[in-house]
Amino acid sequence: MPQVVVHMRKGRTPGQKKSILDAVHGAIVDGFKTPDTDRFQRVLEYEPEDFEVSQGRSPDFLLIEMTVFPGRTLAAKRVLYRSLADRLLGLGLDPAECMVIVKENPLENWGIRGGQAACDVDLGYKLNV
């Protein structure tokens, strides 16, 4: 149940934003083997003066934050990063203009499915991939 926030400067069309979200989701499915239907994503857009990035970065820069259940291996994260880079390239975006931060919160810190701690729920898929 990765919770994704894609930070970007304003100016992209709804279709472009949807394509970016689809790329992120596809990479999560590839890397973390989550069910395709497990999708929680948001876009936050900023005025240029409200989204400051390092010198040399383009206005197309994306910051992608993923809050996820713990347990994914380094190998799975590498698949996620590579898949995302490939998918962004397929959209005509430079993967070097994207940073991904994966935050792993313990299962007991997730309240899901009607008020249950995630550690008490059969998620229906493996986390140790």
At 5-17, the pLDDT tens digits run: 999 999 999 999 9
Euclidean distance between CA atoms 109 and 5, whole angstroms: 18
Euclidean distance between CA atoms 10 and 15, whole angstroms: 13
**DSSP 8-state code for residue 124:** S
What pTM value is reported for the model? Answer: 0.92
For residue 36, the model assigns a pLDDT of 94
Is 2.40.50.1070 the CATH number for 3-120? no
Euclidean distance between CA atoms 24 and 22, whole angstroms: 5
Single out the residue of 112, 97, 17 nearest to residue 67, CA to CA.
112
Higher pLDDT, 101 or 56: 101
pLDDT of 1 above 90: no
pLDDT band at 126 (very low <50, low <70, confident <90, very high): confident
Q: Residue 105 corresponds to which tokens in the numbers above?
A: 């919160």
For residue 125, the model assigns a pLDDT of 86
pLDDT of 86 above 80: yes
